[in-house]
Amino acid sequence: MSDVLWFNGRFTTTDERVLGVEDRGFQFGDAVYEVFKFLRKRPIFLLEHFRRLQQGLQKIEIPVPWDESSFQETIRELLDRTSFADGIVYIQVSRGEAQRAHFWPDDMTPTAIAYSRAFKFPDAAKKERGIRVITTPDHRWHYCSVKSNNLLANALAKKQAQRATADEAIVLSDDGFVREGASSSFFAVKNGRLVTYPLQDCILPGVVRDRVLDLALSARIPVDERPLREAELFDLDEAFITSTTQGVMPISEIDGRIIGNSRRGEVTTRVQELFDELEREAASS
């Protein structure tokens, strides 16, 4: 069954092939994307996702095709046309279509798409059991703070994880610091404190990451935004990742070594409960 697609101001479905072969998103990865979750057809943290999209586009000099109001209106109609209640919306804005050349014309019109897709979010058992992860060198470009379409290194890392029967790859800097997951933010827990990499160009400013930090501070859980050394990974009490699709997901093993007692820890459980409640409130508001 096809999904609802918004393309440059009109609605169609994903059955229609709308992208030109010389679109710069296809040719160069010259595009920014965003993904948000919806429950009962209500978008979760919509404006936070829009603002991150806006910041990424501005950083690489692509005009933003919406303001907040028109973006909300587009998404509202997209979800109204969607036949299922829960899922994700994928958004992509490229620089547009022009004859292939590294230099782009100054008067380009961006190509913008948004489509809804059904998604199976983690169930209670998985959220308690957690996931296995591996570590891998960080081969990504230097502007990971921009959620760009240049995801080849991320895709290779995820495939490496899959082949190791793991769910995620945690990327390490050349000097041995833990940054984030290939498609998630990373949190460690040691002596009751959360540790996560500070916001810099080498990590993505995760929407869920930011909410988790706020929730932790409100719950009086201490937070250290600092680089974590690879050697510290195997002396942690707990660890978890965060993302739009996974929420707060415990990590049971890293590179085949058990973290804590391989069960969801107390701090992770508390953060997970707080975040799940926040999502439920957002879906009912």
Of 37, 127, 147, 158, which one is the catalytic site residue?
Answer: 147
Contacts of 90 (CB under 8 A, 6+ apart): 33, 34, 35, 113, 114, 115, 117
For residue 264, which amino acid is it? R
DSSP-derived 3-state class of residue 135: strand
Helix (H) or strand (E) holding 75: helix 68-81
Q: Provide the 10 A C-beta neighbour count for residue 74.
A: 19
Specify the amino acid at residue 164: A
Q: Tell me, yes or no, if 147 is annotated catalytic.
A: yes
3-state secondary structure of 269: helix
Nearest Cα to Cα of residue 37 among 213, 273, 211, 217:
211
Q: How far apart are CA 182 and CA 137, in angstroms?
A: 11
Which amino acid is it at 85? A
- 16 burial via Cβ count (<10 Å: 0-12, 13-18, 19+): exposed
Distance between CA atoms of residues 131 and 203, nearest Å: 21
Pairing of strands 42-43, 87-94: unpaired
Helix (H) or strand (E) holding 273: helix 266-284
> Please, which residues bridge with residue 165 across strands?
none
Residue numbers annotated as active site: 147
